[in-house]
Amino acid sequence: MKMFKIIPDGDVSIVDVSKKTLAIEFDMHTRDLRPIFLPRRQLYTVSIRGDGLIVNLGKIKLCIGTKSAYFVLQDDEKRDLAFSTHLWLKLQNKKLEDKHIPFEFMILEAAFEFVLAKTQKHFASFESRLAKILAHVSDAPTQENFEKLLLVKKEILSLEKVIQELQDTLTDLLNDDEAIDELVLVNKDFEDDDLESILENILEQVLEISHDIHKEKESIDDTQEIVTLKMATIRNSVIQVDLLVSVAMFILSFGTLIAGFMGMNLQNSFENSFVAFWFVIFAVFILSLILGLLFWKFLKEKYIL
């Protein structure tokens, strides 16, 4: 497998390394290397095995020792180059600033920083898009806008998963004193407090993003509730109009029924009465008005209108 190799003095190279070769170099069993060799996605882990650290942070997978570190190159050349450059710059800064951070821990820190920076960048882009989509959904709750909202909701869940795994990994390390001690493979004089402060600083940034993600999820939920209320109001208005039309049709049909009775081809005493014509019209009008008022009162009492 092709890997990016970096050593403490800053020299870098791309090498083709087998699992067995790595296991021998870091004095560990080949099965210990599964987290970085398996292609499928796994939970984020940082484990100490033999003379090395096995780091699996999603797309960033490393095997770190005191004299060398190997980064697994994958399909994304742009990301691989960015992380490789980040590692190299980290070592150069160490030389310039004369830092005494152990090599293995510095590489681990660089891995966390890179994943965090990528997540922060993704979240910043997501925030700007989300604000526009929420505004559009609230103003125009169309199917297209709802589909966009569904996509960003899936995206924020994916971001939340990454942040949660980072948080769990860092928390597990900080809560395990033995793990903190073992992270420094050679220079045991390096203060544990310094290690913890570096990890805690990264954890604080992770928690900050986690908090922001939680707020954005609440914004999405609030917008969905508002849109749901708007849609419910529109549906209620349509139902009310439909009900009023139905009542009006019923009242008109009552008048039509009377007119039908009076228009039957049967003899009665009203055929030649001019007064009867106007009387029937007036009676139908009054009865229709009374029925309408009764229906209106009933619907109001039942809070239907």
| Tens digits of residue pLDDT in 36-56 | 888 777 788 888 888 888 989
* C-alpha to C-alpha distances, 69 to 4, 53, 72, 121, nearest whole angstrom: 8, 9, 10, 26
- Asked whether residue 293 carries a pLDDT value surpassing 70, the answer given is yes
What residue has token string 């092709």?
Answer: 2
Q: How far apart are CA 54 and CA 42, in angstroms?
A: 13
Which pLDDT belongs to residue 270? 66
- Asked whether residue 258 carries a pLDDT value surpassing 80, the answer given is no
CA neighbours closer than 13 Å in the CB half-sphere of residue 128: 5
- Asked whether residue 143 carries a pLDDT value surpassing 70, the answer given is yes
> CB-based contacts of 138: which residues, under 8 Å, 6+ apart?
223, 226, 227
Beta bridge partners of 45: 56
- Contact between residue 146 and residue 230 where contact means Cβ atoms under 8 Å apart: no
Q: How far apart are the first and last CA of the chain?
A: 73
Per residue in 88-121, pLDDT tens?
888 877 765 656 678 888 888 888 989 888 888 8
Torsion sign over Cα 209, 156, 37, 169:
positive
Which pLDDT belongs to residue 98? 53
Give residue 289's identity as a one-letter amino acid code.
L
CA neighbours closer than 13 Å in the CB half-sphere of residue 189: 1
- Contact between residue 33 and residue 23 where contact means Cβ atoms under 8 Å apart: yes
Task: Return phi, psi of residue 63, to 5°.
Answer: -125, 115
Mean pLDDT on 135-141: 80
Helix (H) or strand (E) holding 136: helix 103-139
Regarding predicted confidence, which is higher, 255 or 133?
133
Count CB-CB contacts under 10 A for residue 161: 12
Mean pLDDT on 172-193: 66
Per residue in 183-223, pLDDT tens?
665 555 555 566 788 888 888 999 999 999 899 888 888 88
Which pLDDT belongs to residue 52? 85
- Asked whether residue 182 carries a pLDDT value surpassing 80, the answer given is no
Regarding predicted confidence, which is higher, 156 or 182?
156
Q: How far apart are CA 4 and CA 86, in angstroms?
A: 12
